[in-house]
Amino acid sequence: MKKLILLMLLISIPFAFAWDDCVSGEVNCEYPGDCASYIDTNLNQICDHSEPIPSSYQFISLSVPVVVTEEHDLITGKELKEKTIEEVAVIYNIDKEEYAKLLSDKYQIQISTTDSFQLLHDEYGLEPTIAKEIANEISLESKQLEIKKEAVEIKVIKYHPIQILAIISILYFASWFLTKKEKLSITIHRKIWNILLLTSFVVTAVLGFLTTTQIVYGWPITRIRNLHVDPGIAFVTIGFFHTFWHIPYLKRILKFKD
């Protein structure tokens, strides 16, 4: 029993994030859009697998402000004057209503999304540089929210080693208890767990193969991203129980005679 408890504790050791181990050999890889293994826990827009671990690495904290580099101007002042609020909002990929509101607050006038910048410049002295600064601010805030959302998604994509270990252990000991009470034969008990071992292996192997293939060849099957991990944990857990059954047998075959 002590050996079994030790094995269970080993299973429950959490998995660490991996750095600088890209299977494709990428270095400082920015998000390519088709790599299922992309992860950016330090939010520097470079995949962790393609860079060495930072010396002062910390896990994601959503309370820490995310710094986003400001983009270059997407439009010149002359071009801006020829467009409406709505058209410029489309260029900066921002909400037109929010843009119009912030401009209205800035100049203390009522500005509509259909107003042209030339009209606003001539009548109210609206400067193109100010208009672009406000558009950039909205764009940056929007990107910060997107990055934080991605960070939340990274935090949500968690594996469940403890839960899987607990469930499988409870089921195993329930099955084992029934055999001790002669409510279940030892043969049926072993058949059940051999089938579960085989099933978890097949699921893990297939999903792991598809994930690896997607990473190496860039196949568009991102929905299987790391789905092999949880069944893999189940496979390893049942595998430890399976190994525990065969400890006497392993001792016999590993025993060397002088």
Q: Residue 158: what pLDDT?
A: 66
Under a CB-based contact definition with an 8 Å cutoff, are residues 116 and 79 in contact?
no
% of the chain exceeding 90 in pLDDT: 21
Under a CB-based contact definition with an 8 Å cutoff, are residues 221 and 210 in contact?
yes
CA distance 145 to 253: 60
Which of helix, strand or coil describes residue 164?
A: helix
Backbone region of residue 26 per phi and psi (left: phi > 0; alpha: psi in -120 to 50; beta: other values)? beta
DSSP 205-217: HHHHHHHHHHHHH
Closest CA to 51 of 83, 74, 17: 17
Closest CA to 123 of 159, 81, 66: 81
Q: Round the average pLDDT of the chain to a whole number and report it.
A: 76
CA distance 102 to 89: 12
Closest CA to 112 of 100, 102, 122, 103: 100
pLDDT under 70 in the chain at which residues? 1-18, 23, 31-37, 42-43, 55-73, 147-158, 218-226, 256-258
Q: Other C-beta atoms within 10 Å of 193: how many?
A: 19
Q: Residue 31: what pLDDT?
A: 60
Q: Residue 159: what pLDDT?
A: 74
Q: Residue 175: what pLDDT?
A: 92
Q: Residue 7: what pLDDT?
A: 45
Under a CB-based contact definition with an 8 Å cutoff, are residues 49 and 215 in contact?
no
Q: Would you list the domain boundaries of the chain?
A: 2-27+159-254, 77-154
Under a CB-based contact definition with an 8 Å cutoff, are residues 43 and 151 in contact?
yes
